[in-house]
C-alpha cells in the first residue's frame, strides 16, 4: 500500500468516529432541550382540540318557497344543487292541512354562494307531488347514471314504490326525468346511500303508519348496465336492529372498506313511539351487519353524512323529548334539539360537536362545493324553513412554535453539514458510489434499515395499525428469512463480480440489453418512489406544522439534494445512521407519552386493544381481494417484496459493496434484519396505542385530517414543546433517508450501466462530475413529481407505497430469480419475461381488485414463468455461466477491490 493510499485509508478509518461523535452531539443537544421540557412540564405544542369548533355554519340563499318544505328530494348533479318536491302546511299552520308539492328548484354553483345575486332556478316539475322519499346523489365521474336518484315517498293518499333519476341540463336550464326500476314494495321515511356504484335503501314504512316500519335493505347495482331498464333491485339480509323509519344512513370508510351506517330512527313499540339510539354498520365485503356504539341522543328524522376519511356527522334530529306535546305547545314549541354529533368509524366513538343554528329535520345532507349543504326542512312541528345552510369542517390549528422550529431546523441543517464534510473526500466515482468500500458494517446495516422503512414506517405503519390491526406485521417478520437468501446467495454473487451496479449481473448473465432494461426500470421506480414518499409525507406533516404539503416536499427534496449531491454514498449512509437513531428514539418517546395519556395507562391501552381486536395477526380466508387481507397474501406478498428488494434493488445491493469484505457485508444485512423486529413491534405498537388514546379522547381527533395524519396530529397536539419538533424531525429524517438513497443509487446505476459502457466521459473526473450532476437532476425530478403527486384523497400511505413497489420491483426481481435459479434461461427469455411480467403488473393494477401486496410476487412469477418457457423454445445460452447461477457457483474468493485511479 502506497503512503498516499495508506493516509487516505487511515482518514477513512477515522470517519466513523468523527461522524458518530458529530451525530451524538446533535442528538444530545436536541434531547437536552426536549427532556428539559418534559421535566419542567412545558405544555403541548398546541392547545387541545375543541370538538365544538369543528363545524362552521354559513347561510346560503333560501329556496323560493317562503314556507320551506319537509321531506324533499335533495341532491347534486354536476355543479347544480337540486331540491324537489316536499310538503308543508300553509299559514296559519295549526289551522290548515298538509300540502304536497312537485316543484323542482336548482341552484347552480356561483363563485360566492353567499352573494345576494345567487338565484334559484325553477327547473320543472316532478311526475307528481311527492315527499318523504329517499334520495341519493350519483356523481358524473362515478357512473353514467349520474344525477339525483329519487326513491319512494308518499302523498296524502298513498305510499309510492316509483324510482326515477333527475338530471340537470345546464344548456336548457331544465331537469330531465328518467324512470328507473321501482322498488319491490312501497316505501316512505326510508333512507338511502351510495357506496361506489351501488345504491342502498334501508328501512322505512310500507304505509302511512309507523307500525308498517321494516328492517328491509335493498341494493341497486348501477354498474350492471347503462340501460336503466336492465337494472334490478336485490334484497339484502335485514339489519338485526328493530324495524324503524325516519332513521339516518351514511357511508364511510372504517379502516378496511367503505361501510353503510344506520343510526337512530323511531319505531312503534307496545308502549308507544320509541326513539332509538342504536347504530349499525353493514360491511359489503362479507354482507354482515355489526352493532356499534349508540349515539348519545336519539336523532330521528335528522341529517347525517360523511366528513373526512373516517368521520360521520349528525347535523340534527328529533330526540323525542317533546314528542306528543306539539298540540299543547304549538307556536311555543322550542324546536328540535340543536345539537350535532360526530362518529369516528375506526375508534367507534361519538363526540358532541356543538350546536346548529337551526335543526332541520326530514331533509337530506348532501356534499356540494367541498362542503355539506342542508337545504330547507322542518324546524318544529308543522313549521318548515326555507333556509339553506353550508356546513364546512374547520382544519386544525397548525401553529408549531419557535422552539419546535429551532429543534427541527437544527437537525435538518446538521444533515447538510454532514454532506459538506464528506464532499471534499470524494475523489472518484468509487468514493462517491461505494465509499471506497470502507464503510463500517453497522453503519451500512443502519443505512439499509433506514432506506427500506423510511417515512412509510413513521407515518404509514402506525396509521395502518391504527385503522386496522397487526396483520401486516407478519410481512416484516419475513425479512430475517429473506436475509438468509441475501447473505448466502445474492450478496456473494455481487461481491464476486465486484459490482458497482446490481445490473452488471444481468449483462454477465444475459446481455447488455437486459442490463439496460433492468437499470432503466430501477431508475424509473426510484424517481416515482421519491415522489410518492415526499408527497405522502408532506400530506402527513401538513397537520403537524404550518407547512403546506408542497412546502414540505420542497424542504425534504432541497435538503436531500444538497447533502446527497455533495457527499455521495458516505453522506447518505452516515445521515441514515443518525436518522435511524432519531427515528427509533422519537418513536419510542411518542409511544410512552400516548400510553401514559390513555385511560388506564398501559393496562387500559392493552385491555382496549384486546377488546377492539386490534392485535389480530391473521385472517384465515382465501380471497386475494378481501378488504381484510389474508395471511397467505401477506406471507407470499412479503416474501416477493423482500426478495426483490434484497436481490434486485440497487439501493440495497449498493450497500453490499460499501464494506471492506464479504463477511462485513453479511453483518450489515443481519444488522438490518435484527433492527426490523423491534422496529416492527414499536411502530405497530404506536398504531395500537394511538387507537387507545383516541378512543379515550375522541374529541381530539379532528375530522379534517386523513388517517395517515393521525400520528402527526398526536405529535402536534399532544407532545410537549421541543419534543414535537424532534419527532417531526424524525419524520423528515425518515423521508430524507429514502430520498437521498434513491438519488445516489439511481445516479450510480445510470453512470455505471450507461455512461461507462458507452464511454460518455473522457476520464474519472468527468464521471464524478456526471455522478454529481445526475444526483442533482434526479433529486430535482423526484421533487417536481412529488409536488404533482400531492393528493389528499389517498386513503393509505402504506397501501399506495406497496402498489408502487409491486408495479416495478416484481419484474426486476423476476429477472434476477430467472438468472440465478436456472442455467437454461437466455437473453431472449429474459426480455420476453420482462415484457409479460410488466404487462401482468399493469393488468393487475388496472383491471382487477387483487390486493397490491401480491403485485411483486405476481411480477416475479409471471416474469420467471414466461421467461423460462421462452428460453426453452429458443437456443440455450452459449456463454459461460460459471459463478452466475446457484448451479454453477465456483469456490473462489471475490475479486480484490481496486480503487479507481485518482485524477
Q: Which of 587, 670, 640, 561 is nearest to 807 (CA)?
A: 640
Residue pair 76/82 in contact by the 8 Å Cβ criterion: yes
- High-pLDDT (> 70) share of the chain, %: 89
Q: What is the pLDDT of residue 25?
A: 54
Render pLDDT for 698-715 as a digit per residue (tens, 0 to 9).
999 988 888 888 998 888
Render pLDDT for 44-55 as a digit per residue (tens, 0 to 9).
444 444 677 789
Predicted confidence (pLDDT) at residue 651 exceeds the cutoff of 90: no
Residue 533: pLDDT band (50, 70, 90) is confident
Instruction: List the grid coordinates of 367.
Output: 356534499
Q: What is the rounded distance in angstroms from the CA atom of residue 161 to the CA atom of residue 182? A: 5
Supply the pTM of this predicted model.
0.86
Render pLDDT for 494-517 as a digit per residue (tens, 0 to 9).
888 888 888 999 999 999 999 999
Render pLDDT for 103-124 as a digit per residue (tens, 0 to 9).
999 998 755 555 554 689 999 9
Contact partners, residue 426, CB within 8 Å, separation at least 6: 432, 567, 568, 570, 768
Candidate ranges 26-40, 280-294, 792-806; pick with highest mean pLDDT: 280-294
Looking up cell 461507462 gives 756
Q: What is the rounded distance in angstroms from the CA atom of residue 812 to the CA atom of residue 834? A: 8
Q: Which of 165, 167, 83 is nearest to 131 (CA)?
A: 83
Q: What is the pLDDT of residue 220?
A: 97
Higher-pLDDT residue of 674 and 7 is 674
Residues 713-727, mean pLDDT to the nearest whole number: 82
Q: Which of 302, 239, 303, 250 is nearest to 275 (CA)?
A: 302
Residue 771: pLDDT band (50, 70, 90) is confident
20: left (phi over 0), alpha (psi -120 to 50) or beta: alpha
Q: Which of 85, 90, 648 is nearest to 384 (CA)?
A: 90
Higher-pLDDT residue of 458 and 776 is 776
Q: What is the rounded distance in angstroms from the CA atom of residue 429 to the CA atom of residue 420? A: 17
Q: What is the rounded distance in angstroms from the CA atom of residue 43 to the CA atom of residue 710? A: 20
Helix, strand and coil percent figures for the chain, each rounded to 5: 50, 20, 35
Q: What is the rounded distance in angstroms from the CA atom of residue 231 to the CA atom of residue 715? A: 50
Strand order in the sheet with 163-169: 134-138, 147-151, 163-169, 174-180
Residue pair 247/224 in contact by the 8 Å Cβ criterion: no
Q: How many CB atoms lie within 10 A of CB 150?
A: 29
Residues 323-333 as b or e (16 or more Cβ within 10 Å = b): beeeeeeeeeb
Residue pair 512/676 in contact by the 8 Å Cβ criterion: no
Candidate ranges 199-208, 582-591, 643-652; pick with highest mean pLDDT: 199-208
Q: What is the rounded distance in angstroms from the CA atom of residue 895 to the CA atom of residue 665? A: 15
Predicted confidence (pLDDT) at residue 468 exceeds the cutoff of 60: yes
Residue pair 655/509 in contact by the 8 Å Cβ criterion: no
Q: Which of 386, 449, 404 is nearest to 677 (CA)?
A: 449
Burial level of 786, CB count in 10 A (0-12/13-18/19+)? Answer: buried
Residue pair 615/454 in contact by the 8 Å Cβ criterion: no
Higher-pLDDT residue of 153 and 580 is 153
Q: What is the rounded distance in angstroms from the CA atom of residue 555 to the CA atom of residue 791? A: 18
Q: How many CB atoms lie within 10 A of CB 585?
A: 16
Instruction: List the grid coordinates of 578.
Output: 443518525
Q: Which of 870, 871, 852 is nearest to 807 (CA)?
A: 852
Pairing status of strand 217-221 against strand 233-236: antiparallel
Q: What is the pLDDT of residue 795?
A: 62
Residue pair 695/372 in contact by the 8 Å Cβ criterion: no
Render pLDDT for 130-157 as a digit per residue (tens, 0 to 9).
999 999 999 988 888 999 999 999 999 9
- High-pLDDT (> 90) share of the chain, %: 50
Q: How many residues does the chain have?
A: 903
Q: What structural domains and CATH numbers belong to the chain? A: 22-41+397-791 (1.20.1730.10), 54-393 (2.120.10.80), 798-876 (no CATH)
Residue 262, φ and ψ in degrees, nearest 5:
-115, 125
DSSP state of 456: I
Looking up cell 300540502 gives 99
Q: What is the pLDDT of residue 728?
A: 84
Q: Which of 532, 255, 247 is nearest to 364 (CA)?
A: 247
Instruction: List the grid coordinates of 677.
Output: 423486529
E strand or H helix at 434: helix 429-434
Q: What is the pLDDT of residue 419?
A: 67
Q: How far is the CA of 493 from the CAs of 585, 820, 898, in angstroms?
A: 35, 9, 18
Amino acid at each position: 500500500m502506497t503512503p498516499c493510499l495508506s493516509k487516505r485509508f487511515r482518514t477513512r478509518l477515522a470517519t466513523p468516529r468523527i461522524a458518530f461523535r458529530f451525530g451524538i452531539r446533535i442528538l444530545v443537544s436536541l434531547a437536552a432541550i426536549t427532556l428539559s421540557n418534559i421535566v419542567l412540564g412545558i405544555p403541548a405544542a398546541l392547545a387541545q382540540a375543541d370538538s365544538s369548533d369543528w363545524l362552521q355554519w354559513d347561510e346560503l340563499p333560501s329556496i323560493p318557497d317562503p314556507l320551506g318544505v319537509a321531506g324533499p328530494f335533495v341532491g347534486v348533479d354536476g355543479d347544480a344543487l337540486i331540491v324537489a318536491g316536499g310538503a308543508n302546511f300553509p299559514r296559519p299552520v295549526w289551522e290548515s292541512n298538509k300540502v304536497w308539492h312537485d316543484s323542482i328548484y336548482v341552484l347552480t354553483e356561483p363563485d360566492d354562494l353567499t352573494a345576494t345575486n345567487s338565484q334559484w332556478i325553477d327547473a320543472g316539475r316532478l311526475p307528481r307531488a311527492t315527499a318523504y322519499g329517499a334520495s341519493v346523489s350519483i356523481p358524473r365521474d362515478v357512473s353514467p347514471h349520474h344525477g339525483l336518484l329519487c326513491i319512494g315517498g308518499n302523498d296524502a293518499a298513498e305510499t309510492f314504490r316509483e324510482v326515477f333519476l333527475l338530471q340537470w341540463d345546464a344548456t336548457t336550464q331544465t331537469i330531465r326525468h328518467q324512470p328507473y326500476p321501482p322498488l319491490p314494495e312501497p316505501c316512505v321515511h326510508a333512507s338511502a346511500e351510495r357506496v361506489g356504484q351501488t345504491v342502498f335503501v334501508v328501512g322505512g314504512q310500507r304505509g302511512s303508519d309507523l307500525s308498517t316500519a321494516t328492517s328491509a335493505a335493498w341494493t341497486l347495482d348501477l354498474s350492471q348496465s347503462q340501460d336503466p331498464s336492465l337494472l334490478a333491485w336485490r334484497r339484502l339480509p335485514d339489519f338485526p336492529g328493530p324495524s324503524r323509519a325516519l332513521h339516518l344512513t351514511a357511508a364511510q370508510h372504517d379502516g378496511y372498506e367503505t361501510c353503510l351506517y344506520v343510526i337512530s330512527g323511531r319505531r312503534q313499540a307496545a308502549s308507544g313511539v320509541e326513539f332509538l339510539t342504536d347504530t349499525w354498520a353493514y360491511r359489503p365485503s362479507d354482507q354482515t351487519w355489526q352493532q356499534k356504539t349508540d349515539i348519545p341522543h336519539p336523532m330521528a328524522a335528522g341529517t347525517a353524512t360523511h366528513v373526512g376519511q373516517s368521520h360521520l356527522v349528525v347535523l340534527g334530529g328529533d330526540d323525542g323529548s317533546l314528542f306528543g306535546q306539539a298540540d299543547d305547545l304549538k307556536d311555543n314549541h322550542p324546536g328540535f334539539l340543536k345539537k350535532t354529533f360526530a362518529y369516528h368509524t375506526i375508534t367507534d366513538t361519538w363526540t358532541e360537536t356543538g350546536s346548529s343554528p337551526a335543526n332541520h329535520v326530514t331533509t337530506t345532507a348532501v356534499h356540494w362545493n367541498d362542503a355539506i349543504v342542508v337545504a330547507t326542512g322542518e324546524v318544529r312541528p308543522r313549521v318548515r324553513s326555507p333556509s339553506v345552510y353550508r356546513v364546512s369542517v374547520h382544519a386544525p390549528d397548525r401553529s408549531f412554535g419557535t422552539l419546535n422550529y429551532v429543534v427541527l431546523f437544527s437537525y435538518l441543517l446538521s444533515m447538510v453539514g454532514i454532506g459538506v464534510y464528506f464532499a471534499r473526500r470524494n475523489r472518484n466515482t468509487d468514493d462517491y458510489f461505494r465509499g471506497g468500500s470502507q464503510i463500517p458494517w453497522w453503519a451500512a446495516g443502519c443505512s439499509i434499515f433506514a432506506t427500506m422503512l423510511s417515512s412509510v414506517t413513521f407515518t404509514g405503519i402506525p396509521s395502518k395499525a391504527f385503522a386496522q390491526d397487526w396483520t401486516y406485521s407478519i410481512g416484516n417478520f419475513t425479512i430475517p428469512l429473506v436475509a438468509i437468501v441475501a447473505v448466502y446467495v445474492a450478496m456473494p454473487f455481487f461481491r464476486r463480480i465486484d459490482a458497482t451496479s446490481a445490473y452488471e449481473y444481468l449483462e454477465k448473465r444475459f446481455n447488455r440489453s437486459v442490463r439496460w432494461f433492468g437499470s432503466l426500470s430501477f431508475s424509473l421506480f426510484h424517481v416515482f418512489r421519491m415522489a410518492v414518499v415526499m408527497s405522502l409525507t408532506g400530506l402527513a406533516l401538513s397537520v403537524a406544522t404550518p407547512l403546506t404539503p408542497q412546502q414540505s416536499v420542497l424542504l425534504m427534496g432541497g435538503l436531500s439534494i444538497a447533502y446527497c449531491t455533495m457527499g455521495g454514498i458516505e453522506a447518505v449512509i452516515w445521515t441514515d445512521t443518525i436518522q435511524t437513531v432519531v427515528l427509533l428514539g422519537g418513536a419510542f418517546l411518542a409511544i410512552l407519552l400516548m400510553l401514559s395519556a390513555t385511560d388506564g395507562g398501559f393496562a387500559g391501552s392493552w385491555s382496549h386493544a384486546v377488546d377492539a381486536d386490534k392485535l389480530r395477526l391473521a385472517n384465515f380466508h382465501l380471497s386475494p381481494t378481501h378488504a381484510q387481507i389474508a395471511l397467505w397474501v401477506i406471507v407470499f406478498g412479503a416474501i416477493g417484496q423482500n426478495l426483490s428488494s434484497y436481490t434486485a434493488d440497487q439501493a440495497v445491493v449498493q450497500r453490499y459493496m460499501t464494506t471492506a469484505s464479504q463477511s462485513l457485508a453479511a453483518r450489515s444485512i443481519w444488522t438490518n434484519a435484527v433492527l426490523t423486529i423491534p422496529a416492527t413491534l414499536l411502530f405497530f405498537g404506536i398504531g395500537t396505542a394511538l387507537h387507545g388514546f383516541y378512543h379515550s379522547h375522541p374529541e381530539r381527533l379532528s375530522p379534517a385530517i386523513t388517517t395517515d395524519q393521525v400520528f402527526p396530529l398526536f405529535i402536534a397536539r399532544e407532545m410537549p414543546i421541543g419534543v414535537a419538533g424532534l419527532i417531526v424531525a424524525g419524520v423528515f429524517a425518515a423521508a430524507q433517508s429514502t430520498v437521498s438513497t434513491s438519488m445516489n443509487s439511481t445516479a450510480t446505476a445510470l453512470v455505471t450501466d450507461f455512461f461507462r459502457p458507452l464511454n460518455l466521459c473522457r476520464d474519472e473526473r468527468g464521471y464524478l462530475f456526471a455522478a454529481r450532476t445526475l444526483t442533482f437532476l434526479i433529486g430535482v425530478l423526484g421533487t417536481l413529481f412529488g409536488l404533482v403527486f400531492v393528493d389528499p384523497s389517498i386513503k393509505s400511505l402504506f397501501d399506495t407505497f406497496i402498489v408502487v413497489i409491486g408495479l416495478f420491483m416484481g419484474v426486476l426481481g423476476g429477472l434476477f430469480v430467472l438468472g440465478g435459479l436456472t442455467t437454461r434461461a437466455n437473453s431472449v427469455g429474459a426480455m420476453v419475461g420482462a415484457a409479460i411480467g410488466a404487462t401482468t403488473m399493469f393488468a393487475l393494477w388496472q383491471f382487477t381488485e387483487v390486493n397490491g401486496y401480491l403485485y411483486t410476487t405476481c411480477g416475479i412469477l409471471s416474469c420467471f414463468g414466461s421467461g423460462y418457457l421462452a428460453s426453452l423454445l429458443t437456443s440455450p445460452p452459449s456463454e459461460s455461466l460459471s459463478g452466475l447461477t446457484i448451479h454453477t457457483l465456483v469456490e473462489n474468493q471475490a475479486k480484490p477491490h481496486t480503487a479507481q485511479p485518482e485524477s
